[in-house]
Structure 1
Amino acid sequence: MIKKTLYFGNPAYLSTRNDQLVINLPQANGLDDSSNRNTIPIEDIGVLITDHQQITITHALLDKLVANNCAIVTCNSSHHPHGLLLPLDGNSVQSERYRHQLQASVPLKKQMWQQTIRAKIENQAELLRNLCGVATDNMMHWAGSVSSGDGENHEARAAAFYWANLFPFAGFKRGREEDPPNNLLNYGYAILRAVVARALVGSGLMPTLGIHHHNRYNAYCLADDVMEPYRPFVDKVVLEIVKTATNYTELTKEIKWKLLSIPQLDVIINGKRSPLMVGVSQTTASVYACFEGSIRKIAYPQFPEPWND
Structure 2
Amino acid sequence: MARPLTMSRIPVIDALRGFAILAMIAYHLSWDLSWFGFVGWPVSDGPGWRIFSGAIAGSFLFLAGASLVLAHGQGIRWKAFWKREAVIVAAALAVSAGTYFTFSGIFVRFGILHSIAAGSLIALPFVRLPVLFAYAAAVVVYTMPHWASSPVFDGDLFLWTGLGTPASGSVDYVPLAPWAAAVLLGVAVFKTPGMPALLEAVRPLRLASWPGRLIRFCGRRSLAIYLVHQPVLYGLVWLVAAAGFAPDRIALGFQESCVERCVLAGGSEAQCKTICACTLTTLKEDGLWEPLLTNPEDPELLQDMNNHYNACTFPADSTQTPIR
Same fold? TM cut 0.5: no
Q: What TM-score comes out, normalization by structure 1 length?
A: 0.25
- Greater share of residues in helix: 2
Question: Relative contact order: is structure 1 or structure 2 higher (C-alpha 8 Å, sep ≥ 6)?
Answer: 2
Structure number having the greater strand percentage: 1
Which structure: larger Rg? 2
